[in-house]
Amino acid sequence: MQPDREAILKIATFKTSRSGGKGGQNVNKVSSKVELIFNPNQADFFTEQEKALIAIKLENRIDAEGFIHIVSQEDRSQLLNKEKTIVKLIEVIKKALHVSKPRKPTKTPKSVIENRLKNKTVKALKKESRKKPGIY
């Protein structure tokens, strides 16, 4: 199941801090950097299989306690950064829960092989006819 904003907001916690980068003196005064902390094991809207899939696919993003941390400090506004972290988390979870279909191995059709060989011989004859005639 794909999580929605409201369900994530019930479980997620946010930490704010001062952000670096653009903003001049505003950076020194305002805590606009937002870090979203999310524990997928506490999410009751995921099944056990989905939790296992998230744990496997996001093992590089999950820390030792089992939390996913997402940080945004792109904007000067704390509210915009908070919205961006939520959107990023939803995208990350969607990618983790997406299961690609297994590829069915197929054989090259005989007609395609025959056409390729026929074109190859036609090209070879064309190039052969361009040669200067040799003395025998």
φ and ψ at residue 40, rounded to 5 degrees: -65, -20
Per-residue model confidence (pLDDT) at position 1: 61
On whether the CB atoms of residues 16 and 32 are closer than 8 A, the answer is yes
Amino acid at 89: L
On whether the CB atoms of residues 54 and 67 are closer than 8 A, the answer is no
Kindly report whether the global pTM for this prediction surpasses the value 0.85: no
Per-residue model confidence (pLDDT) at position 23: 62
Measured between alpha carbons, how far is 53 from 129 in angstroms, rounded to an integer? 62
Per-residue model confidence (pLDDT) at position 26: 66
The CATH classification number of 5-97 equals: 3.30.160.20
Per-residue model confidence (pLDDT) at position 24: 66
Cα distances from 12 to residues 8, 40, 82, 85, in angstroms, run: 6, 9, 11, 11
At 34, is the secondary structure helix, strand, or coil?
strand
pLDDT tens sequence for the chain (136 residues): 677 788 888 888 888 888 766 666 666 677 888 999 998 888 888 888 888 888 888 888 888 898 999 999 888 888 899 999 999 999 998 888 888 899 999 999 999 999 999 999 999 999 999 988 877 6
Per-residue model confidence (pLDDT) at position 102: 93
* Contact residues for 75 (Cβ-Cβ < 8 A; gap 6+): 32, 81, 84
Q: Where are the domains of the chain?
A: 5-97
